[in-house]
Amino acid sequence: MPNRVRTAVFPVAGLGTRFLPATKAMPKEMLTVVDRPLIQYAVDEAREAGIEHFVFVTGRNKGVIEDHFDRQFELEQTLEARGRTEALAELQKDLPSAGQSSFTRQQEPLGLGHAVWCARELVGNQPFALLLPDMVFRARPGVLKQMMQTYEETGGNIIGVEEVDPKDVSSYGIVARGEGPDSGFRITGMVEKPRTEDAPSNLFISGRYILQPEIFALLSEQTRGAGGEIQLTDAMQILIRQQDFTGVKYHGKVFDCGSKLGFLAANVIFALDRPDLAEPFRRAISDAVLGVSDGM
Ligand code: G1P
């Protein structure tokens, strides 16, 4: 049995410039899909996969993320006084337990690889999950849980992948696929943000990883890659010479909420998935669309 994965890292230091002005004073991870912040989806997914320690790599102006995962006594008392017991129970369910969260800061925006490296002391010498909160999944069970099932058989490093339109490969990390089924195939190489003609496949790294701690030593070399940033993909491409990397083409679909289109699509699809909203939302949208096309 491989070492159990107990810790998850959430890089939440990004500036969110693609969502200005919404993200001028508010972290992009607090943008909501329907009524839950992006970061809450990632934490829920990690929890479902058995994670017990939640490590947030934050930056300046990210204090409300820490507040979001804390109790809010005034709010709790008010809900209680008003008899809103269901809302109160929902709020409490979302929280990691006392002592399960850790926060550290990425002091400079030097890239995803550097953000992960900033978590090294909190993670220590054990495997860990990495979840990029911009990426929100419609998947059951959750993507990290599906990857854990593979990890229990293979150990090593696991990367969740999904197909992307070949014209969009240059926005992502892309893997080269070796032998094995969708539930666990050998990854033979990977490249960060390739041009379409250089991409080894159309399988993109969609923001969920299980990694071995040896990655930290490679990240500490801090070589700059695509976009002048310290890239996680480049460190993994070196580690692959010494350790197994297994790809999981999971059941489900990602919404890239780091882009406006992905974010808007996620809001529509997640609202349509909600029993309390699906019907009235469908009606509101079709009325609105008809109204607009009628020039009203
Ligand atoms: C990062 C990773 C990339 C991955 C992507 C998923 O890129 O470097 O490999 O495909 O996240 O969102 P970024 O979005 O930070 O440019």
| Alpha-carbon distances, residue 250 vs 34, 148, 173, 184, 283 (angstroms) | 24, 11, 17, 9, 32
> Does the CB atom of residue 207 touch ligand 1 within 6 A?
yes
Low-confidence ranges of the chain (pLDDT < 70): 293-296
Q: How far is it, in rounded angstroms, from Cα 173 to Cα 233?
A: 7
> Does the CB atom of residue 235 touch ligand 1 within 6 A?
no
Cβ-based neighbour number of residue 8 at 10 Å:
28
CA of 169 to the centre of ligand 1 (A): 11
pLDDT for res 164: 96
pLDDT for res 167: 94
The number of folded domains in the chain is 1
Q: Which atom of ligand 1 is nearest to the CA of 231?
A: 8
In a domain, 276, yes or no: no
CA of 233 to the centre of ligand 1 (A): 9
pLDDT for res 118: 97
In a domain, 210, yes or no: yes
Domain range enclosing 75: 7-258
Reported pTM: 0.95
In a domain, 288, yes or no: no
Q: Where is 254: in which H helix or E strand?
A: strand 253-256
| Alpha helices (runs of H) in 54-211, residue ranges in sequence order | 63-68, 73-81, 85-93, 112-117, 120-123, 143-154
pLDDT for res 216: 97
Tell me phi and psi for residue 59, to 5 degrees. -155, -170
116 closest CA partner among 283, 34, 236, 250: 236
> Does the CB atom of residue 59 touch ligand 1 within 6 A?
no
> Does the CB atom of residue 205 touch ligand 1 within 6 A?
yes
Q: Which atom of ligand 1 is nearest to the CA of 111?
A: 15
DSSP state of 105: E
Which residue puts its alpha carbon closest to atom 13 of ligand 1? 172
Residues 127-163 pLDDT 10s: 999 999 999 999 999 999 999 999 999 999 999 999 9
Tell me phi and psi for residue 121, to 5 degrees. -70, -35
In a domain, 292, yes or no: no
In a domain, 236, yes or no: yes
In a domain, 283, yes or no: no
In a domain, 135, yes or no: yes
Domain with residue 143: its CATH number is 3.90.550.10
Cβ-based neighbour number of residue 97 at 10 Å:
8
Residues 160-181 pLDDT 10s: 999 999 999 999 999 999 999 9
In a domain, 263, yes or no: no
Read off the amino acid at residue 171: S
CA of 134 to the centre of ligand 1 (A): 10
